[in-house]
Amino acid sequence: MKSFILYYGTLCSLFALKVQASCNSFPTIPGVAMTGSLLKAYKVPTLYECYSECNSSNYSTKCRSINYFLRDSLCHHNRLKVSDKPENKMQHSDSIYADNPNATGNVTSTSSSESAKEWVLIARFSNIDTKNWMAYNGEWWYDITTDQGDKTSTVGSLDMITSAFWTQKGREIKITRTDDPTHTPLLVTTSNCLGDMTFREKISSYGNFRNGAVWSSEKCLGNCAVTYGGKYQSTVGFSQSSCDGDVLTRNKIGFWCDYGAGDGAVISIGGVGSACGRADHGLAVTEENAGKFGTSAGCDFGDYGTSSCQKQSYALNLWVQ
């Protein structure tokens, strides 16, 4: 999509109170969001206010671009521009993206605090090997403390977990396909989903669901907002990414979800509810007649729990930042 100029007056007529009228203008790109470089996220009534703070004299050394999500009045300040890292550009119909033309930060010089914000691969989900992520004892989620699988490759086809799963604290999550060398996010969370915890700390904070314990009934125990990109619409596990359910809506992932006659997932992607294929779509999905671990009707990822999982030519990589 080509960048073009949208003036505040034009935006005001299009989006009413979401954008303030002004005599000035700045380049924006509707339908685009920058991911993987979030400085902060907060709600603000207008695009102009989001942009103005990013462009303020005491902050522009850090804030190089913004995303503004119209539906939720959500402002993202980013430490990178799309031109700095094109592979982190995502299509998002609700977002307006803008560079900060006064940004002075040097992205080629990365401090230790900045390097901590890079994406770290922590796990892989495959359906062509043992159902490690659906094991009855839940040990890959809760207990393993040694690396498993090929942690040096991003294109591996078998399950994998690295020590970063339980040691790397972070704020956001993304999922990519192993057949995509650019690691374009299929989804990425926003607004500090992990809360500066490790992934294991986050997932285990909801309770102990080892050894067949039921994790929920007709609900998700937690959720995070996400944006989608890349080949998400054709990726197994993402079938409900455009569905709004009565438990979970489309632009979210849910943790420890269950709905209906035992459909569940450790991480449901997109809508959850009667209109959205219930809950078993995402990572670690089950049809065990309850939201619980087990390999007889569970898959490491998929659009439904079953004894015979959907085998794909790709696996899914899980990252934290």
3-state secondary structure (DSSP) of residue 198: coil
Find out whether 162 and 147 touch, Cβ atoms under 8 Å. yes
Least confident of 13-22, 106-115, 154-163, 235-244: 13-22
Q: Which of the four pLDDT bands, split at 50, 70 and 90, describes residue 86?
A: confident
Length of the chain measured in residues: 321
Whether residue 185 contacts residue 36, with contact meaning beta carbons closer than 8 Å, is answered with: yes
What φ, ψ does residue 294 adopt, rounded to 5°?
A: 160, 145
Each as own residue / partner, the long-range contacts of residues 105-108 (CB below 8 Å, 24 or more positions apart, any chain) are 105/61, 105/62, 105/64, 105/79, 107/64, 107/79, 107/80
Predicted pLDDT of residue 111: 42
Q: Give the separation between CA 21 and CA 10, rounded to whole angstroms.
A: 8
Average pLDDT (202-221) is 95
Adjacency order of strands within the sheet including 25-34: 4-7, 25-34, 89-99, 65-69, 74-78, 38-43
Tracing tokens 């078998």 back to the chain, one arrives at: 158
- pLDDT one-digit tens code per residue, 28-81: 999 888 876 777 777 889 999 999 999 886 676 789 999 998 877 888 888 889
DSSP 251-264: TEEEEEEEETTTEE
The more confident residue out of 6 and 252 is 252
In this structure, are residues 215 and 288 in contact, taking their beta carbons and an 8 Å threshold? no
Tell me, what amino acid is at 99?
D
pLDDT value of position 285: 95
Question: What is the reported pLDDT for 307?
Answer: 67
For the beta carbon of residue 52, count every other beta carbon within 10 angstroms: 14
Q: Determine contact, residues 265/281, Cβ cutoff 8 Å.
A: yes
Averaged pLDDT for residues 202-222: 95
Q: What is the pLDDT of residue 24?
A: 46
pTM of the model: 0.68
3-state class (DSSP) for residue 74: strand
**H or E element in which residue 271 lies:** none
Write out pLDDT tens, residues 218-252.
999 999 999 999 899 999 999 999 999 999 999 99
| CA dist 158 → 166, 178, 274, 281, 286 (Å) | 20, 10, 32, 20, 19
Q: Residue 115: what pLDDT? A: 41
What pLDDT was estimated at residue 180? 86
Q: Give the pLDDT of residue 155.
A: 86
